[in-house]
Structure 1
Amino acid sequence: MIARRVGRTADRIYPSTTATVDGDLDLIAIEKAMNGEPVNLTLPEKIRAARLLANRGYDNAAIGRRIRSDRSTVAGWRNNGWPTA
């Protein structure tokens, strides 16, 4: 069996921006999280990453794996309109 590590393939996700920060959000950290790379995010950064992944069609479980949150937490954010925390 061949294992694939999230974020280590040619299908890297690039949020469409050239900025590196948006207010208190670290957009570089968000991009790393979206690609499954280990990074410490604030709650607002996790929610932004989750929303961007959801907009790309990822389900709650896949989003949770990438941003290191439980899928039920992601479902709660989605059901509450992606709160800005």
Structure 2
Amino acid sequence: IDQTFNIPNLGVVASGFLRSGLIEEGSVLKVGPLDDGNFIDVYVTSVQRHKVNRRIVRPGESSTLALNLFTESTTMNGHNDTEWYY
């Protein structure tokens, strides 16, 4: 993750470069480590690449992801174990 933003009415947005794995809209990712050493699960609500909506990010691509904290009540379209270190 290169940058994070908090955008009103959208939430947390993170931009960065994917080294390996795939990230899809609807994926659940682990972000961390946080100050306490833990990782949190986040849900990818949307993906953009060069300001264009995308459904998937592949290795070697930079992108921007809109993220929400993942809870059991979050609808999940897919699952991904890719880790983005914050």
TM-score of the superposed pair, with normalisation by structure 2: 0.25
Tell me: higher relative CO, structure 1 or 2? Use CA pairs within 8 A at least 6 residues apart.
Answer: 2
**Is the helix fraction higher in 1 or 2?**
1
**Is the strand fraction higher in 1 or 2?**
2
TM-score of the superposed pair, with normalisation by structure 1: 0.25
